Structure 1
Amino acid sequence: MSRWSCPELAVELEGRGITGPISPSTVRRWLREEAIKPWQHRSWIFITDPAFRPKAERALDLYARTFNGEPLGADEYVISADEKTSIQARCRCHPTLAPGQARAMRVNHTYGRGGALAYLAAYDVHQARVFGRTEPRTGIDPFMALVAQVMSQEPYASAKRVFWIVDNGSSHRGQAAADRMTAAFPNAVLMHTPIHASWMNQVEVYFSVVQRKVVSPNDFTDLTQVWDRLRAFEDRYNATAQPFQWKFTTSDLGDLLAGLDRHTVDHHPEESSLRLSA
């Protein structure tokens, strides 16, 4: 087994003759006091994007309102965009019970499937303004519809440049996506985060807010109600939101990469070829 319960460990210890009869609570106490806890784990991944540093630095510089060492002008904007896929309308088989005195809200576990939609959002990093739309699915055309929704209105339509920060999803991957956006809107500049670094995309913070405040606990009658709720939340959010206090800077990035570089050399010399250049 990859994970043992305390009763199972108690039986195993006694069966192997390591201890005499022992209670699960004693095993639990021993494990709690141990410094090494082998039942816990963390996942990790190697940085494989050879352009990780320059891509990350461009995004972080844009958050700090600079590009290629120059401050952005008043008519230049930074948009963070992505898709939140497969938001389901779960129709609960019994009505949700409102919370009461000393009682939490009760949501029936059994539900009927009312379909799913994709929520596409573009977040103006410095204005704290969200533009959203729903689509049956993600793809190039739905993403370009979001781009057109933003770029066809002011102040973006007449802006000098509008930088779009996106991850490497199939809807907006690679140079082809950048060329497609520029062809449609010459003042739009598509910028990609590094591969496996969607956490650098600020719209993901907004999506986490949507998940907590709108989607959970997911009790919708149909997809129309999902969209109505998302649309109403956008209006509420845009009326009160302040820009995220983004604190991860290019200096922090340098420290992080230096630490990863030291770890790779010390513990995985065979992976030294994957280290990033300074």
Structure 2
Amino acid sequence: MTYSLDEMTGIQALERVMPDIEMKPGRCVRVEFEYCRHGTQTLIATLNVATGRIDQATVGDTRTEKDLEAHLQALLAPVAEAPKIHLVMDCLNTHQSEALVRLTAALEPAPIQLGEKGKFGILQSMATRNAFLTNPEHRLVVHFTPKHCSWLNQIEIWFSILMRKLLRRSSFTSQAHLKAKILDFIDYFNRTMAKPFKWNYTGKPLTA
């Protein structure tokens, strides 16, 4: 199993003050430029690389360590017996948290002494947690994208689809309305549009 995960923060619930002017021959849809703000939401989404589906999505007010832990618990519950799970993420601090280390350790057949955060053992520092999470011998292996290269993560492609298909031109009356629309779009995407992305990046430098 290979998953691609990231957060999309600060998604604004913008309500247009006037309705769109519909398209007609020779004229595109015209979208009202004035809007009312109704706050923001954060989306945590996980793409199944093999199927192109969004296997888990969490929409809420925050993206804390606890939010990510709950998201991952829900993601991994149906595949708890998978022999190997690969998780691609960027280097955000919450992606190298104590909660994720404990979740990874819980998937191992034998108990692991993790130590104490900030003091000793695997939990001592971000560096020790990173080394544990990226250990290829574990059932859950995290692959961190290099700094400034989070675009290598395939979930970023899907975020651009979400932006173009839903967020850019829509009008949302509240945070609850925004959340419902995002989850509805994910359901629609999984049913009608999902397919594996054709990954054509060769790994060669983009500049000479």
* Normalised TM-score (structure 2): 0.77
Q: In structure 2, which of residues 161, 165, 171 is the aligned counterpart of residue 219 of structure 1?
A: 171
Aligned partners of 2:205 and 2:34: how far apart in 1?
45
The answer to whether 1:169 aligns with 2:118 is no
> Which of the numbers 32, 36, 55 marks the counterpart of 1:112?
36
Deviations 1:56-101 (A, max 9, x none): xxxxxxxxxxxxxxxxxxxxx0000000111111111222232233
Higher helix share: 1
Cross-structure match for 1:229: 181
CA RMSD of aligned residues (A): 2.0
Correspondence 1:99 to 2:23: yes
1:97 maps to amino acid? I
SS in 2 for 1:105: coil
Structure 1: runs of 5 or more not aligned: 1-76, 261-278
State the shift of 1:164 in Å. Answer: 0.7
In the alignment, residue 60 of structure 2 is paired with which amino acid?
E
Per chain length, whose mean CA-contact separation is higher, i.e. which structure has more relative contact order (CA < 8 Å, sep 6+)? 2
Choose which of 61, 75, 80 in structure 2 pairs with 1:136.
61
What secondary structure is seen at the aligned counterpart in 2 of 1:152?
helix
Q: How far did 1:184 drift?
A: 4.6
In the superposition, relative to structure 1, how do residues 82 and 213 fare at CA in structure 2: closer, same or farther (>3 Å)? Answer: same
Partner Cα separation in structure 2 for residue 107 and residue 166 of structure 1:
35
Structure 2 CA distance for partners of 1:177 and 1:188, relative to 1, 3 Å: same
Residue 124 of structure 1 corresponds to 48
What is the TM-score normalised by the length of structure 1? 0.59
1:244 — aligned with what? 197
* Larger mean Cα displacement after TM superposition, 80-89 or 165-174: 165-174
Letter of the 1:141 counterpart = K
**1:112 positional shift:** 1.0
Equivalent in the alignment of 2:76: 151
Residue 205, structure 1, aligned to residue 173, structure 2? no
Asked if 1 retains the 8 angstrom alpha-carbon contact of 2:66 and 2:99, the reply is no
SS in 2 for 1:207: helix
**Are the structure 2 counterparts of residues 228 and 134 from structure 1 closer, same or farther at C-alpha, using a change threshold of 3 Å?**
same
SS at match of 1:103: coil
| Secondary structure of the structure 1 residue equivalent to 2:147 | coil
How far 1:170 moved relative to its partner?
Answer: 2.8
Task: Give the Cα–Cα distance (whole angstroms) in 2 for the partners of residues 80 and 152 of structure 1.
Answer: 17
User: In the TM superposition, what is the alpha-carbon distance from 1:117 to its structure 2 partner?
Assistant: 0.3
Q: Quick check: 1:89–1:222 contact (8 Å CA) kept in 2?
A: yes
SS of the aligned residue for 2:42 comes to strand
How far 1:188 moved relative to its partner?
Answer: 2.4
Identity, % of aligned positions? 30
**Number of the residue aligned with 2:101:** 179
Residue 87 (str. 1) matches residue 39 (str. 2)? no
- What stretches of structure 2 of length at least 5 have no aligned partner? 109-138
Instruction: Give 1:14's aligned residue.
Output: none
Query: Once the 2 structures are TM-superposed, how far is the Cα of residue 218 of structure 1 from its aligned partner?
Result: 3.4
| Number of equivalences | 176
AA of the residue aligned to 1:92 = R
Q: Is the 8 A contact 1:151 1:185 kept in 2?
A: no
Cα displacement (A) at 1:106: 2.1
Q: Which whole-Å CA distance do the structure 2 matches of 1:234 and 1:216 have between them?
A: 16
